Amino acid sequence: MEVNIIGLIDNTYLRPYGSTREIEALIEDTARYGAYSITINPVFLRYAREYMARKGYTFKVVAVVDFPFGAGTTGARVDAIKRYSQYADELDIVAPIGLVKSGLWGEVEHDINTVVEAAHREGKIIKIIVEDAYTTREEKLELYRIVMQSGADFIKTSTGFEERDYAEKLGNKTGAQIENVRLMAELSRKYNPRIGIKVAGGVRTYQQVLELMRAAEREPDPMRFRVGTSHMMSIIESMKGIH
């Protein structure tokens, strides 16, 4: 049976050189094919909202926060959440990777709990990007636990902007990887069965989405499983001829 995966897609454009033209094209594709949302850089939030209002489009708008490094102070991250919440329905924020790599787990926990609380105060969905390519298995076990116990709405695999050289030094691949998504599913049973899983980074085919959804042990419900991709058209193309 064919699963309607287009309705699970956060249709994404985050390249630093993109202009309003790319944002308009993203919005039109999202409207045409029925993706769940657009995910964009904050500089275009107001523009996107106004354009969508003129066209009568009502799908969700996701803003990335402290992206792609997760290197801002907690205070700056909270301020950004408050500001972007004026226009965004959901916020995808990068975990404080430098603190993770320093083993400063108390600070990691404080930061993530604080940003989740800030987003929920604004009535927004928040996804924590754990940037799997940059962490060891031991770091994943601790970071995933913190994210799950923070009450975040989603845990998200990657930014899509990882440095391959550093990832390879750790024996990691970039993007959404089955084994990491399986680990998320496993730990969520213990720490937070309600948390959604968002796969992002290198997702280009229908088959890949199905495999990742199986690994996530989530049903095709956008509040349980989401796909972040800038390759929605490739996914649609790959569905042709599948029955």
Active-site pick, 92, 111, 132, 153: 92
Active-site pick, 124, 127, 173, 198: 198
The DSSP string of the chain is: -----GGGEEEEE--TT--HHHHHHHHHHHHHHT-SEEEE-GGGHHHHHHHHHHHT---EEEEEESTTT--S-HHHHHHHHHHHTTT-SEEEEE--HHHHHTT-HHHHHHHHHHHHHHHHHTT-EEEEE--GGG--HHHHHHHHHHHHHTT-SEEE---S---HHHHHHTT--SS--HHHHHHHHHHHHHH-TT-EEEEESS---HHHHHHHHHHHT--S-TTTEEEEES-HHHHHHHHTT--
For the question of residue 127 being annotated catalytic, the response is no
For the question of residue 198 being annotated catalytic, the response is yes
CA dihedral 187, 191, 194, 197 (to 10 degrees): -40
As to burial, measured by CB atoms within 10 angstroms (0-12 exposed, 13-18 middle, 19+ buried), residue 151 is middle
The count of other CB atoms within 10 Å of the CB of residue 85 is 19
For the question of residue 156 being annotated catalytic, the response is yes
Which residues does the annotation mark as catalytic?
92, 156, 198
